[in-house]
Amino acid sequence: MHILPTPGANRPVFIAVRAVATNGVTYAIVNSNSGKVADVSGASTAPDTPVFQYPYHATTNQQWTAYSVGKGFWEFANVNSGMCLSVGGDFVSLGDAVVQTPYIGKPEQQWMFKSYGNGACYLVNRKSGEVLDVDGASTADGAKVQQWTSGGYKNQRWILKPIATLKPQHP
């Protein structure tokens, strides 16, 4: 399911439209502000490893397979580790790093699309209601990917690009 913003008092309100992902397709999750991708630090296969942004270099720790879990929510499994993009455990707060965790099928691993337009979207976590965000709108390699309140900022917009369409970025 794909979501379009509608104005709200302090936060946007969203309405559902059609999906931007295809079930079982592998994507790079590209930040609209930096052009860099969601990358599992050090290509780790350990639980709770943080996700940072880095230039796309075509390795599997930067590739995420989308799986629909129904009602407009999706899980993203990292190709390298098989673990899911997650906001963490039982307690979540603003600024918490987004990490990879073993599949448990719980809301902290589930994301809904909110469309911005031009192929970009916000990814909203089912458990927290917060969006995937690059800390401080940084464009630096290694900047933390976290959850934050939706403010409509470019560092909170993401584009899912099928890996078959991407070429590695070179410095």
Q: Is residue 170 part of a domain?
A: no
In a domain, 7, yes or no: yes
One-letter amino acid identity for 19? A
pTM score > 0.85 for this model?
A: yes
| Mean pLDDT over the full length of the chain | 88
Find the CATH number of the domain harbouring 67.
2.80.10.50
Phi first, then psi: give them for residue 166, nearest 5 degrees: -105, 150
Domain count, the chain: 1
Tens of pLDDT along 43-102?
999 999 999 999 999 999 999 999 999 999 999 999 999 999 999 766 678 989 999 999
Closest CA to 5 of 108, 116, 127: 116
Strand ranges, E, within 71-107: 73-78, 84-86, 99-101
Cα 147 to Cα 99, 110, 115, 150, 163, distances in angstroms: 10, 13, 17, 9, 24
